[in-house]
Amino acid sequence: DAGVTQSPTHLIKTRGQHVTLRCSPISGHKSVSWYQQVLGQGPQFIFQYYEKEERGRGNFPDRFSARQFPNYSSELNVNALLLGDSALYLCASSRDAQETQYFGPGTRLLVL
């Protein structure tokens, strides 16, 4: 079975721009979570979606938003990019909202 996939793998944007990151979960998984990982730190929780509804939100500004589609894939949107948004963005899927998460390879975002 295919694992979690994310696109694009790398992205370069400038300050003030908007970005959309995409994630396809493992087949049969209904929950998707998004994380931001800065070099040298652990992943920081951004959102969890289950059955197309937001179930958890981390301590991130409103510039960050997400949604989950009927096929359980998900998008993470970040508006008005700042230099500090440069990071590895990870998507993880799980069968249920409170089960073990399986991570994708991540999207590396660089904001100039």
Partner 1 sequence: SQKIEQNSEALNIQEGKTATLTCNYTNYSPAYLQWYRQDPGRGPVFLLLIRENEKEKRKERLKVTFDTTLKQSLFHITASQPADSATYLCALPYGGGFKTIFGAGTRLFVKA
92 binds partner 1 (CB under 8 A): yes
**Does residue 48 touch partner 1 according to CB under 8 A?**
yes
Q: Which of 80, 23, 71, 17 is nearest to 47 (CA)?
A: 23
Which residues, at least 6 apart from 30, have a Cβ–Cβ distance to it below 8 Å? 50, 51, 72, 95, 96, 97
Task: Establish if 68 lies at the interface with partner 1 (CB under 8 A).
Answer: no
Task: Determine if 98 is a binding residue for partner 1 (CB under 8 A).
Answer: yes
Residues that bind partner 1 (CB under 8 A): 4, 33, 35, 40-45, 48, 50, 55-58, 88, 90, 92, 97-98, 100-106, 108
